[in-house]
Amino acid sequence: MMMTKDKTGIIPLLGYSRDQLIELLNEMGYRPFHAKQLYSWIYYRGVFEFDQMTDLSKKLREELNSRFVLQLPRIVEQVQGEDPDSASKFLFELSDGERVEAVNIPTEDRNTVCLSCQVGCAFGCTFCATGQMGLSRNMTAAEIIGSFLAIRQNSEARISNVVFMGMGEPLANLEQVMKAYDLLTDGDGIALSKRKVTISTVGIPAQIRKLAEYSPPPKLVFSISSPHDEIRREVLPLAGRYTLKSVHEALSYYAQQTRHRITIALIVAEGLNDQLEDARALHQWIDGLPSKINLLRYNDAAGSFRRADEQAIERVAAELARLGRTVILRKSRGSDVSAACGQLAAREVRSGNDGDN
Ligand code: SF4
């Protein structure tokens, strides 16, 4: 089996699936049972020191120590809002010094972790802090799962949900995101419910179709920004090239294949999508798509727009409801910790990564 060594010749084990560990330990002369024990220590119990894996033999622990390492991304900064139940944001440093974010968002009935999947993003959406950074590189499944495990270690409450809504476009790094999804939802490891993992996209039709073939699939959120193609082309320089018609067709295919309802997210910003006419155009565009609508308040610090005033947001919500749509007006959580994707990392980039402590 191909293994990637770090500069010291030590092999990072984080991100290995159960089957990969079985193969690896088999090559070392151990049985599948030992690999399953190791897998459980890493992903179920969250133990990253081989010496603490007390039901492994001393010989195996010594071998693991001499050849492998389990290393979580380093937490460079953790920002906690003032309320005890407010979001906390983590800035991680990866092994090559790149920095990414993740956010832990507790609510009354769930504890959601929002994960990044790319260092920066190539899509350049004008309303998004990450979009202003450009793409540095994709994250590996090991880095994605490492940021989840690091947050789990620091969270008192059990994590019930994961959303890929942090830095990066998940469908542009689909292979690694789905490897992380497999690890997140494996019943012998982290064991999140498959219904509790959500991928959010700005809409790449070919990748939506690819995701539809995945069984069982994650939940899908389409962040529409505007129900007008000409406005999407302005604010979504890359994703806006795909017409809303082509995205609708791909989402319909996804809904049909997976029997999932699609969530349409509209982040309401002043002058972008806060008029009654926008609500009506959105209603028309949705026609025939099994869906519900999440309205979110724009985070002023995220990019080039401003949050729409509360009355405008409520008017949009009321109009969509009047037209018969299921609408949920989401609470704004985490604005006190700059929770929109990329804000901490963008600040680090602007200041030359001098925020180290
Ligand atoms: S909104 Fe998503 S796709 Fe657009 S720039 Fe930000 S991270 Fe990338």
Q: Give the pLDDT score at 352.
A: 44
pLDDT at 316 over 70: yes
Q: Give the pLDDT score at 137.
A: 98
Mean pLDDT to the nearest integer, 106-113: 88
DSSP calls for 138-182: EPPHHHHHHHHHHHHHT-SSPP-EEEE-SSS-GGGGHHHHHHHHH
DSSP calls for 70-106: --PPEEEEEEE-SSTTS-EEEEEE-TTS-EEEEEEEE
- B/e letters for 263-283, b = 16+ CB within 10 Å, e = fewer, are bbbbbbbeebbbeeebbebbb
Structure tokens at 239: 């994703």
Average pLDDT score over the chain: 91
Which of 127, 163, 202 has the most ligand 1 atoms within 8 A of CB, as the residue to mutate?
202
Does ligand 1 come within 6 angstroms of the Cβ of 130? yes
Please write the tens of the pLDDT for every residue from 137-147: 999 999 999 99
Please write the tens of the pLDDT for every residue from 226-236: 999 999 999 99
The verdict on whether omega for the bond into residue 216 sits within 30 degrees of 0, i.e. cis, is yes
Distance 118 CA to ligand 1 centre (A): 10
> Given this structure, which CATH class describes domain 74-350?
alpha beta
Q: Cβ(195)–Cβ(231) under 8 Å?
A: no
Structure tokens at 254: 């996804």
pLDDT at 338 over 90: no
CA distance 199 to 197: 7
Residue spans per domain, the chain: 11-69, 74-350
- Among 199, 226, 244, 204, residue whose Cα is nearest residue 127: 226
- Among 279, 269, 282, 270, residue whose Cα is nearest residue 317: 279
356 band by pLDDT with thresholds 50, 70 and 90: very low
Task: Answer yes or no: 156 catalytic.
Answer: no
Nearest CA residue ID for atom 7, ligand 1: 168
Does ligand 1 come within 6 angstroms of the Cβ of 121? yes
Mean pLDDT to the nearest integer, 315-325: 97
CA distance 283 to 323: 7
Which of 125, 235, 272 has the most ligand 1 atoms within 8 A of CB, as the residue to mutate?
125
ipTM of this complex prediction, to 2 decimal places: 0.99
Please write the tens of the pLDDT for every residue from 236-287: 999 999 999 999 999 999 999 999 999 999 999 999 999 999 999 999 999 9
Distance 239 CA to ligand 1 centre (A): 9
> Please, what's the largest Cα pairwise distance for the chain?
69
Q: Cβ(20)–Cβ(1) under 8 Å?
A: yes
Domain formed by 11-69, architecture? Orthogonal Bundle (1.10)
Please write the tens of the pLDDT for every residue from 51-106: 999 999 999 999 999 999 999 999 999 998 777 668 899 999 999 999 999 999 98
Half-sphere exposure of 259 (CA within 13 A, CB side): 3
DSSP calls for 256-312: HHH-PPEEEEEEEBTTTS-SHHHHHHHHHHHTT--EEEEEEE--TTSSS--BPPHHH
Distance 122 CA to ligand 1 centre (A): 8
Q: Give the pLDDT score at 135.
A: 97
Nearest CA residue ID for atom 4, ligand 1: 125
Q: Give the pLDDT score at 111.
A: 93
Please write the tens of the pLDDT for every residue from 301-314: 766 788 999 999 99
Q: Cβ(130)–Cβ(346) under 8 Å?
A: yes
CA distance 60 to 27: 13
